[in-house]
Amino acid sequence: MEANELKIGNLINSPYGVSTIYGVNKDCIQIEIVETIYDFDLDEINPIPITEEWLLDLGFTRQPWGLTKDGLLFKDPKLDCKNLVLEIGNGHRTQIKYIHELQNLYFALTGEELEIKLKT
């Protein structure tokens, strides 16, 4: 993962579990845990893979053809949620593998944050 792929509010896996990014610079990211800011090198964090459970927690709904929210469709050809492909508009398809990529794309398309309250 590169720093330019991340923005404040993105969800990532940190040494403390799933965390929200509080700050980003070229060498490290900051996360906030119980009102304390922690700095981590980029090699200490990992992206969160997109799964059906994450998409449902982010407000997507299950349809017979995939998972959908606000005009975004994750096609699910085998209905097993192992090969999700994002479809935007009239057939433009792209592979998005990680939650932070989805958050960034959602913001770029809608101007709103795609958020989830982290389970404690």
* Residue 7 backbone phi and psi in degrees, to 5: -140, 165
pLDDT digit string, tens, across residues 84-118: 667 666 667 777 788 888 888 888 888 888 877 66
What pLDDT was estimated at residue 84? 63
Question: What value does the mean pLDDT take over residues 18-47?
Answer: 78
In three-state secondary structure terms, 30 is strand
Q: What does the DSSP 8-state code read for residue 34?
A: T
Question: What value does the mean pLDDT take over residues 27-54?
Answer: 79
Question: What value does the mean pLDDT take over residues 15-20?
Answer: 84
pLDDT digit string, tens, across residues 55-77: 888 888 888 777 778 777 776 65
Q: What distance in Å separates the CA atoms of residue 29 and residue 23, rounded to the nearest whole number?
A: 6
